[in-house]
Amino acid sequence: MIYNKLQLSVSQALNKLYGIEVTPESIILQKTKKEFNGDYTVVVFPYVKQARKSPEMVANELGQFVNNDLHEVENYNVIKGFLNFEISDRYWIDYANSIANDDCLGLKQVDSTAAPTVIEYSSPNTNKPLHLGHIRNNLLGWSVSQLLSANGRNVKKVNLVNDRGIHICKSMLAWLRYGNGETPESSGMKGDHLVGKYYVEFDKHYKEEIKELVSKGVDEEQAKKEAPLMIEAQQMLKRWEEGDKTVRDLWERMNGWVYSGFDETYRKMGISFDKIYYESNTYLLGKELVQKGLEMGVLYRKEDGSVWCDLTDAGLDQKLLLRKDGTSVYMTQDLGTALLRHNDFGADQLIYVVGNEQDYHFQVLKIILGRLGYEWADKVYHLSYGMVELPNGKMKSREGTVVDADDLISQMEKTAEEMCIERGKNADMSEEELHNLYHILALGALKYFILKVDPTKTMLFNPEESIDFNGNTGPFIQYTYARIRSIVRRAIGEKGIDLNSNSFVDNINDKERLVIKQLHDIYSVVEQAADSYSPAMIANYTYDLAKSFNSFYQDTPILKESNPIRMLFLVKLCNAVSLAIKNMMNILGIDVPERM
């Protein structure tokens, strides 16, 4: 790649001209600003003092050396201490030809022998269906997994199902009290939706009990603790941890309903895992680690029997690890899960995709693992992301004001159908093909709208805006891909184009050069996105590429080109763009349709 050649040549020039020894990797190349001529820029100011010459003189001498050294460099110019290199058309043309049929364009080969990166995402509770917040978690986790794999990392995708705890007992207790034996079969509801219904039901009756206690003069905070429903739910949790058969049987039955519902939603989203962990299987290991911490003296037990870790010396507070009744908390099971996961995979890194409200939790997790003697604690990484909000505000599961993932996907599919019918370009498709197209467009709109936003930022989700066929949206890119595939099919079928033939044109115009230069950036974009765990960089790169292609396409009558060699080159360039779009959208978990 020309980037690496320029780095090497500049480092050699510095050494031979001034005796300055720098590694090629330390030479920073920037894209030349649009207002200047050039493709890549080197800032020479860091070398001026050692060279003992003015910035302009250093830049000119380096430019002359590199211009003579690399045939790919057509010219150079100097603006004060900025050295701008102009790359020849021949280089860009050769590059375009070299990638025209590269199905793996932008993707590095995975090193399956390397210690894996284990990434956890989804992590649902079994007391409610997946909602819009879970969608961002799942899409981000899946996409980062794809992104790391595209950069050559050996990735294992895992899910931790939070299948035990007080929240689960709330749904169970409400079903016992108010369910009248209702099942998914008798109600016609998905199992996760049915269980979520009773989580909301618990909260409704719980608030009524609190209100009644307050009316009798009980302080509100005390009323929350003394409400009969909450006391009974806590007793149920204790019975669960003691292995009470009646409680365990109900727990298995209701969780089974939820798992069936989750699996259906995951299939709709195109999400899967290499391994699924269950909190009910890991919290005991966490308790063993708590005992180990007590024996090591890094944890302590209070008089009421609860176990804590004093983190004040790390600038934090004291963290509860076991309640006074011996029941565990989230941190307990996360300690056990981290150890289990590290041992299962021999992991090089443990990544947790969890919302930013848990920043403190994972800070504490790393510290406690380190104090327990695990050297790999510093390999725990919290991929913290912002919440998803709706135009009417935040969602609350307890109050039933969430946007269910299933309902959202169905609505998106309906909107995609309406927009396709309005555009009137799918009359020749079968019903099955149309249904598949609507699903692809709906998921593309949803995924792209969420993933194009920097993960660290809180985002506002607007379904109508996401599915627009214009602007920075998934459907716009999907439509661009389908347009390109139509061009390539026609070129092969009607014009007899052979994509494996050589196409050595003499020159290219500005819009063609821009498209090729963007294709040239694809590997560095994937690398930078992987380093920052940001699918947003992939999304916005793909959008920019699609925009540039459309601009080029509007000015270039590809299939009416009279010169057959130039037509071949243009079609091959189209094919390369389609491969890049397909591979980048695949990183985002988005399918692209061959026809629209």
Minimal CA–CA distance to 419: which of 470, 487, 376, 373?
470
The tens digit of pLDDT for each residue in 562-576 reads 999 999 999 999 999
Mean pLDDT calculated for residue range 407-423: 87
In DSSP terms, which residues pair with 77 in a beta bridge?
84
- ∠ Cα 336 341 345 (to 5°): 155
Please indicate, yes or no, whether residues 289 and 175 belong to a single structural domain of this protein.
yes
In a domain? residue 25: yes
Please indicate, yes or no, whether residues 380 and 412 belong to a single structural domain of this protein.
no
CATH number of the CATH domain containing 68: 3.30.1360.70
In DSSP terms, which residues pair with 162 in a beta bridge?
125
Give whole-number Cα distances, 481 to 213, 511, 544, in Å: 62, 18, 13
Boundary of a domain, candidates 33, 61, 87 = 87
Please indicate, yes or no, whether residues 385 and 502 belong to a single structural domain of this protein.
no
Mean pLDDT calculated for residue range 331-338: 92
Please indicate, yes or no, whether residues 156 and 27 belong to a single structural domain of this protein.
no
**Whole-number pLDDT of residue 401:** 52
In a domain? residue 96: no
Query: Six-digit token pair at 332?
Result: 């307990």
Please indicate, yes or no, whether residues 207 and 131 belong to a single structural domain of this protein.
yes
CA distance linking residue 318 with residue 312, whole number of Å: 7
Please indicate, yes or no, whether residues 180 and 38 belong to a single structural domain of this protein.
no
Please indicate, yes or no, whether residues 383 and 421 belong to a single structural domain of this protein.
no
Query: Six-digit token pair at 445?
Result: 């709109």
**Whole-number pLDDT of residue 400:** 46
Q: What are phi and psi of 201, to 5 degrees?
A: -65, -40
In a domain? residue 97: no
Boundary of a domain, candidates 324, 354, 389 = 389
β-strands 459-460, 73-79: how paired?
unpaired
- Per-chain mean pLDDT for the chain: 93
Q: Quick count: other Cβ atoms within 10 Å of Cβ 362? A: 18
Domain residues for the domain of 199 are 121-389
Q: What are phi and psi of 349, to 5 degrees?
A: -155, 145
The tens digit of pLDDT for each residue in 49-85 reads 999 999 999 999 999 999 999 999 999 999 989 999 9
Query: Six-digit token pair at 404?
Result: 């269910």
Query: How many domains does the chain divide into?
Result: 3
In a domain? residue 427: yes
The tens digit of pLDDT for each residue in 89-104 reads 999 999 999 999 999 9
CATH number of the CATH domain containing 171: 3.40.50.620
**Whole-number pLDDT of residue 425:** 62
Place of tokens 């806590």: 234
Please indicate, yes or no, whether residues 378 and 232 belong to a single structural domain of this protein.
yes
pLDDT cut 70: percent of the chain above it: 97
**Whole-number pLDDT of residue 174:** 97
In a domain? residue 396: no
Please indicate, yes or no, whether residues 366 and 411 belong to a single structural domain of this protein.
no
Lowest mean pLDDT among 263-267, 385-389, 459-463, 484-488: 459-463
Place of tokens 């798992």: 259
